[in-house]
Amino acid sequence: MKNGPLAVIAASALWGTAGTAGLLVSADSVALAAARLVIGGTALALFAGSGLRRAISPGLLLGAVAVAAYQLCFFAAVGRTGVAIGTVVAIGSGPVFTGLLSWALHGRRPSGRWTLATTAAVCGCAALIAGGGAEAGGQVLPGVLLALLGGLLYAFYAVMAASAIDRGAESGAVMGVMFGGAAAIMVPVLVLGGFEWLAAPRGLLAVLYLGLGTTALSYFLYGRGLRTTPVATAATLALTEPAVAALLGLVVLGERLAPVSVAGLVLLALGLVAVAVPEREAVR
């Protein structure tokens, strides 16, 4: 798999900073998601250049819709559940949905090691939630449902992107089509929602980071990773995101990690390592 897993892990680490950065902006989740996608998607589309038109396909256009919807679900979930739970549920459910979709649509049955490692990683995510001491009720349940929908949407556009890359499309162009299309969808949302909050230096810097760092750069790296990494494996490696989010919650937001959360991080790390290390081919 060469350097594919490292590129996916680097992308996921950038994603893990999005929830914390979003809390530093005095804007609602819809406006924030729209601004992030307009900036990041435009950057990816510009980077793709002339290859953008050649990569357009019905599957990638549907992926663009899923990208836009995922952003809305993610920030809405974080606003209701907090950074740790919203991020963990959304990205924690992603590998399961991705493996199932890849199997259903392309007949790629996940390996036994992937299944065990993904199960361990998802259990680690669950331990992070349990250690956070979140209580049921209030806005938590709707937030968790939104996060699960986000996980399904993420799985869909990841599988669409991987399919296009497997067919020979350039990864940068694939991401440009999906995220450029999502940016176009989000322009009216941003205009209607208002963007006066961007006048504040703090809000402008935060949304530039969200757009250029956690969207444009991260998905450029993710597309590179998908060239040599199976999409189900990439989705499991993306569980780096909640680990980074939890650590940022600890360091930046002053959140505390209970012992069960620490154990969850360790289990999550072991699962990621098991997936990232290439399997040896059987000697015949």
246 or 165, greater pLDDT: 165
Summarize the confidence of residues 183-202 as an average pLDDT: 88
pLDDT at position 47: 92
CB under 8 Å to 112, separation ≥6 — which residues? Answer: none
Checking if the pLDDT of 138 tops 60, the result is no
Closest to 57 in 3D by CA, of 152, 168, 138: 168
Checking if the pLDDT of 161 tops 60, the result is yes
Closest to 118 in 3D by CA, of 11, 279, 268: 268
Q: What is the longest distance spanned by two Cα atoms in the chain?
A: 65
Checking if the pLDDT of 139 tops 80, the result is no
2 or 21, greater pLDDT: 21
Does residue 22 sit within a domain? yes
pLDDT tens figures, 38-47: 999 999 999 9
Does residue 190 sit within a domain? yes
Checking if the pLDDT of 181 tops 90, the result is yes
Does residue 228 sit within a domain? yes
Whole-number mean pLDDT of the chain? 84
Structure-token pair, residue 176? 């440009």
For residue 280, what pLDDT band results from cuts at 50, 70 and 90? low
Closest to 106 in 3D by CA, of 179, 177, 158: 158
pLDDT at position 31: 85
Summarize the confidence of residues 186-211 as an average pLDDT: 88
pLDDT at position 281: 46
pLDDT tens figures, 204-250: 899 999 999 999 999 999 999 999 998 888 988 888 887 888 788 77
For residue 65, the enclosing domain spans: 4-276
pLDDT at position 18: 84
For residue 84, what pLDDT band results from cuts at 50, 70 and 90? low
Lowest mean pLDDT among 123-127, 143-147, 184-188, 198-202: 123-127
For residue 8, what pLDDT band results from cuts at 50, 70 and 90? very high
Checking if the pLDDT of 254 tops 90, the result is no
Q: How many structural domains is the chain composed of?
A: 1
What share of the chain in percent tops pLDDT 70? 89
CB contact burial 237-273 (16+ within 10 A = b; e otherwise)? bbbbbbbbbbebbeeeeebebeebbebbbebbbebbe
Residue with tokens 């350097």: 3
160 or 263, greater pLDDT: 160
Does residue 157 sit within a domain? yes
Give me the amino acid identity at 270: L
For residue 170, what pLDDT band results from cuts at 50, 70 and 90? very high
CB atoms within 10 A of CB 170: 17
pLDDT at position 131: 65
Lowest mean pLDDT among 97-101, 114-118, 167-171, 186-190: 114-118
Does residue 41 sit within a domain? yes
SS3 state of residue 105: helix
Residues making up the chain, counted from first to last: 284
Does residue 284 sit within a domain? no
Does residue 281 sit within a domain? no
Does residue 25 sit within a domain? yes
For residue 284, what pLDDT band results from cuts at 50, 70 and 90? very low
Summarize the confidence of residues 82-97 as an average pLDDT: 76
Checking if the pLDDT of 112 tops 60, the result is yes
